[in-house]
Amino acid sequence: MRTQVAIVGAGPAGLVLAHLLARTGIESVVIESRDRDYVERRIRAGVLEQGTVDLLHELGLDERLRREGMVHRGIELRFDGERHRIPLSDLTGGRAITVYGQQEVVKDLIKARLEAGGQILFEAEAASVEQPVSDRPVVRFRQSGELYDLECDFVAGCDGSHGVCLGAIPANSLTVYQKDYPVAWLGILAEVAPSTEELIYAYHERGFALHSMRTPHLSRLYLQCRPDERLEDWSDRRIWDELQRRFALEGWSLAEGPIIDRSITPMRSVIHEPMQYGRLLLAGDAAHIVPATGAKGLNLAVSDVRVLADALAEWYRTGDDSLLDAYSQTCLRRVWRVEHFSWWMTSLVHRFDEDGPFEHQLHLAHLRYLCGSTAASTSLAENYVGLETA
């Protein structure tokens, strides 16, 4: 088998890349280890930055997003028994976020790609990337028990944080930056109308909680827990009681409903530098992880492949490889900005084990300043909706 760009992974990075390449007439094959149903049901992120929404619009992939996505022009910070609104759009010249589940984005991207005759091989697991430093790299993959070789000009490693592409780069060619936070998120999806119109980030002495949503009938809620906690120790009652405590506010109540999905996700930051090795180019979670607090993982994956698609288009059009050579450097400017923002948000709203009364007062002072100062809240807002240039 042969194609121009072999894309490993049908997550947001791989699928958006396939669409961007198709727009400029570049052929690709997407190899995905899971089946279609699994990737279309995987509950993960759900906050789209303005730039991500604009790109999906540009690609003509936003028909359902425009209908079903919920545009939010502000977020709430809740602490010390009070609520404060950060008016995102007022502070950023009208920019906003859109709440639309990652699995819905993935569904839309897969459907449109297949309808356009694009190739996505499901249940095809990449086993290795061969000869990445040559002009004929190969992705070796397994499907229905058989091994196949996919020859290509370039390999896009969009296979997430547990993929194989990163492993094709020798360890001595990589610098790895990593920070593990002593906290995790217990996330639930509940069949109940959200109790809020905008996202609520709650800082509480017992730990952080986030009220998000996926549709007008589905609430997505998170609460800070320890990374070593076990899901089976959290009964539905215990989860709701803890959420009730952390969101408690006079005159406001949190509606409860059946929990239909739950998971524990540790918070960590990881960056692999550089994001390329010969003709293997990494994008999205394959190259970097951000703690979920800033809602950036999916958006960062999309911004990587936008840079990659431009670089590949230039190479195929003119043979000029300067954009490709600069791929990693170009992406890493934004990656580090977003890593900083996500670390900052994580530090702002979580309670860490070593935090005592002094740190608690510092958290409150910082939060009050954020809500009271236009300069400080603008900084939060412009990063949260997504910087136009990083």
Ligand X SMILES: Cc1cc2nc3c(=O)[nH]c(=O)nc-3n(C[C@H](O)[C@H](O)[C@H](O)COP(=O)(O)OP(=O)(O)OC[C@H]3O[C@@H](n4cnc5c(N)ncnc54)[C@H](O)[C@@H]3O)c2cc1C
Q: How many residues bind ligand X (CB under 6 A)?
A: 32
- Alpha-carbon span 360 to 358, nearest angstrom: 5
Of 220, 202, 239, 211, give the one whose Cα is nearest residue 349.
202
Nearer to ligand X, 18 or 77 (CB): 18
Query: Counting contacts by CB under 6 A, is residue 101 touching ligand X?
Result: no
- Reading the block at residue 309, the tokens are 């698609």
Contact (CB, 8 A) for 2 and 291: no
Shortest Cβ distance from residue 45 to ligand X (Å)?
Answer: 3
Query: CB atoms < 10 A from the CB of 284, how many?
Result: 30
Contact (CB, 8 A) for 282 and 167: no
Please say whether the dihedral angle defined by the alpha carbons of residues 308, 310, 313 and 317, taken in this order, is positive or negative: negative
One of 7, 18, 39, 380 touching ligand X (CB under 6 A): 39
User: Which residue shows structure tokens 């409903």?
Assistant: 257
One of 29, 31, 56, 309 touching ligand X (CB under 6 A): 31
Is the peptide bond between 266 and the residue preceding it cis, with omega within 30 degrees of 0? no
Nearer to ligand X, 164 or 311 (CB): 164
One of 90, 123, 125, 151 touching ligand X (CB under 6 A): 125
Query: Counting contacts by CB under 6 A, is residue 8 touching ligand X?
Result: yes
- Reading the block at residue 112, the tokens are 């449109």
Amino acid at 190: A
Q: Which stretch, 3-11, 21-29, 190-198, 368-376, contacts ligand X (CB under 6 A)? A: 3-11
Shortest Cβ distance from residue 89 to ligand X (Å)?
Answer: 20
| Residues in Cβ contact with 313 at an 8 Å cutoff, skipping those fewer than 6 apart | 21, 24, 26
One of 45, 105, 109, 345 touching ligand X (CB under 6 A): 45
One of 92, 98, 102, 269 touching ligand X (CB under 6 A): 102
Task: Please list every residue from 177 through 206 that binds ligand X, using CB under 6 A.
Answer: 187
DSSP sequence for 190-217: ESS--S-SS-EEE--TT--EEEEEEETT
Shortest Cβ distance from residue 284 to ligand X (Å)?
Answer: 2
Nearer to ligand X, 44 or 246 (CB): 44
Query: Counting contacts by CB under 6 A, is residue 157 touching ligand X?
Result: no
Residues that bind ligand X (CB under 6 A): 8-14, 31-34, 39, 44-45, 47, 102, 125-126, 158-160, 163-164, 187, 265, 284-285, 292, 295, 297-298, 301
